[in-house]
Structure 1
Amino acid sequence: MTDTYSIGSLSQLAGVNVETIRYYEKVDLLPAASRASNGYRQYDGKSLERLSFIRRGRELGFTIDEIRDLLTLAHHPERPCADADRMTRAHIADIEGKIRDLQRMRRALRQVAHCAGPTAEHCKLLHALARTD
Structure 2
Amino acid sequence: MKIGELARATSTKIETIRFYEKIGLLPAPARTATNYRAYNQTQLARLSFVRRARDLGFTLDQIRGLLALSDDRDQSCSAVDTVARQHVSEIDRKITDLRALRRELQEMLDQCSQETVSTCRIIESLAPR
RCO higher in structure (CA 8 A, sep ≥6): 1
Q: Alpha-carbon deviation of 1:131? A: 6.3
Per-residue deviation, 1:117: 3.4
Q: Which runs of 5+ in 2 are unaligned?
A: none
Match of 1:56 among 37, 52, 56: 52
The list of structure 1 runs, each at least 4 consecutive aligned residues, that deviate by more than 4 angstroms after superposition, is: none
TM-score between both structures, scaled by the size of structure 2? 0.94
RMSD: 1.2
**21, 27, 35: which one aligns with 2:23:** 27
Residue 101 of structure 1 is matched in structure 2 by 97
| Mean CA deviation greater in 122-131 or 29-38 | 122-131
Task: Report the CA distance between 1:55 and its aligned residue.
Answer: 0.3
Query: Who is 2:85 aligned against?
Result: 89
The one-letter code matched in structure 2 to 1:117 is Q
2:53 counterpart SS class: helix
Mapped to 2, the partners of 1:24 and 1:78 lie a distance apart of: 26
> Gaps spanning 5+ residues in structure 1: where?
none
TM-score by length of 1: 0.91
What is the number of equivalent residue pairs in this alignment?
Answer: 128
Percent identity of the aligned residues? 41
Separation in 2, partners of 1:113, 1:22: 45
Partner amino acid, structure 1, of 2:19: Y
The residue number in structure 2 matching 1:130 is 127
The answer to whether the aligner puts 1:80 opposite 2:98 as a matched pair is: no
Residue 118 of structure 1: aligned partner: 115
Aligned-pair CA distance for 1:30? 0.1
